[in-house]
Structure formats: structure tokens, C-alpha cells
Amino acid sequence: MRNARLVVLLIVSWTALSARAGWEYTAVTKAEGGRQSEMMGNSIKALVEGSQARVEFVESGNPMMRAGSYLLIQDAGKSMVMVNPQEKTYTTWDMNSMMGMAGGVMGMLNMEVQNPKVEKLLEENGGPLLGYPTTHYRFRTSYSMSMSFMGMKHSTATVQEEDLWAAATLKDAAFSLQAMQNNMKTGNEQLDKLITAQKNKAEGFPLKMISTHTVKDARGQDQVVKTTMEVTALKAARPAADQFKVPAGYQEGRMLLPFGGGKKGAGGKQNGGEPDFKNLLEQIQKAAQ
């Protein structure tokens, strides 16, 4: 579920640039603290034109976004395809299925999100970044989560504080991924309410984001993860049309899910597939102990 949320946040930050011209930009994300912080760090190079984008992962610790692979985004986020040049394969990303799986896991584990709240704490002049005027926003998102499975009970309280420096001149309604976000339902009422509350929190494209995510368990122990994303270069560009297409001859694969499992595809290669719920449950039980 955490990986699905990270995917959504990354895609929104990558693809909110203006659709009225072509753009090329680079961005770096760094994370510290927590057991999965190494998965959250990455360096990307992106091309944007019209309602399509190509995001190449120069460096990445996430197995779903391996270094050298790139994500093709079309129709303002309605279509997303991950391309792996090393293996000459491509995989269609179905965000509705990913989020629906998150909701299904929550139901199976009797997980409940309670008291979701999003607050805007600050809105001020953020000064220029890369030559563009920005607005500095600060938001606080909070909620509690409880879980009960096979006699095991676990509860956490989460607070996430975000500082964003957004350039309002770098936005276009046709390319804001609003359609994708509106269709992204998990089927879990509490989780969907939280996702809805976090939509459209800032106007424009965030050139810099600093997020501090704090989770407190039932024993009062905190796990804190700090993430910083910054666009390091930005310029107008005219990408070639083939930059947004899957190369000829590539074979279609299946999505590699972030929590293990998977079926072997052609040639005996493991390329993702059905989730290994037993493995997932074992990981959750260990984390809750």
C-alpha cells in the first residue's frame, strides 16, 4: 500500500508541467530514516510535451522503477507504461487495480483509517526557483490506522508535514492528472476519503518538496522518514515523437508487485503477477511485533 501511494505521489510531481510547450527537466529525490527509505530515493530525467511524458530513472532504489527503465505517460495520465530497455519489455500500469488491491488488503486485515485530516498551515511568497516565481505552502496530513488479524491487533498514528514550493505558471488543466486521480478508488471508504482530501493541495508544479512522515505505534515509538524532492534543471524542448512510444519488438510483461510473489512468464523469467499474500501477511506480522 505504501508503494502504491509513493507511485501516485511521484507521478503527480513528475507530470504536472505545462502542456503548452515541450519541456525537459531533471529532479532528485532523497530520503532518510525508516526501513524503506532506500526505496524512495531516485534521480530522474523527464521529457514533457502535450498530454504525454517520458520519465527515465537515472538512479533508483525501487524495484518497480529500476535504474535505466522509463515510464511513458499518455492521455494526461490515463495510460502509463513502464519500459525496461535492458530486458526489452514493457508493462502497463493499472493504477485502479493497484489501489483496489490496497483496499482489498485493508479489508482482509480489518484495517481502518480513522479521523483523516488535511490542514493548510501556510501560504506565502516562496521566492524564485530556477527563474520561476513560487508559492510556499505547508500542509499537515494526519490519520490513525488500526488492524486486527488472527488475534493480532496493531494501531498507529500518522502525521505528515509537507512544505512545497510550487510554480503556478507551470500548470495546465489538461495535464494535471485530475482524471487519473478522480478514478483512483481503492474501495475502502476511509482510505478513499484520505486520498480525496490530499488532492489539489497546491496550485502549480512543485519545484521543491520537503516531507516529514511520522508514524507512532501503540508503544509510543516513532518512525520518521524525511523526503526531499527538488527539480535541478528545467528548459524548453522539442522531444521527438518516438520518445513517447514503446520501441518496436519489445515484449509485454506483467506488473511486478512491490511485496513479492509473481508468476514465471515466457522463458521462465519471473516478471511479477499475482501477489503472494502469505508472504505479505508474514511481513506485516513482523512489522507489527
- Res 34: pLDDT: 72
Q: What is the mean pLDDT of residues 111-124?
A: 88
Cα dihedral 96, 99, 203, 124, rounded to 10, equals 180
Cβ within 8 Å of residue 286, ≥6 positions away:
none
- Res 96: pLDDT: 64
Cβ within 8 Å of residue 189, ≥6 positions away:
none
Indicate the range of 22-26, 60-64, 192-196, 260-264 predicted with least confidence. Answer: 260-264
Q: What is the pLDDT of residues 202-227, one digit of tens each?
A: 778 889 999 999 999 888 888 899 99
Decide which of 100 and 142 is more confident.
Answer: 142
Band (171; pLDDT cuts 50, 70, 90)? low
Strands (E), the chain: 23-32, 42-49, 52-60, 70-74, 79-84, 89-92, 112-129, 132-149, 152-167, 205-217, 222-236, 251-252
With the C-alpha atoms ordered 2, 233, 79, 255, is the resulting torsion angle positive or negative? negative
Band (37; pLDDT cuts 50, 70, 90)? confident
Band (6; pLDDT cuts 50, 70, 90)? low
CA distance 92 to 11: 14
- Res 200: pLDDT: 66
Band (16; pLDDT cuts 50, 70, 90)? very low
Mean pLDDT across the chain: 76
Q: Is the pLDDT of residue 76 over 60?
A: yes
Q: Is the pLDDT of residue 58 over 50?
A: yes
Q: What is the mean pLDDT of residues 24-30?
A: 93
Regarding pTM above 0.85, the answer is no
How many other C-beta atoms lie within 10 A of the C-beta of residue 74?
A: 16
Using a pLDDT cut of 90, give the percent of the chain over it. 35
Q: What are phi and psi of 106, to 5 degrees?
A: -60, -40
Q: What is the pLDDT of residues 222-249, one digit of tens each?
A: 889 999 999 999 988 888 999 999 999 9
Residues 172 and 94: beta-carbon distance below 8 Å: no
Q: Is the pLDDT of residue 282 over 60?
A: no
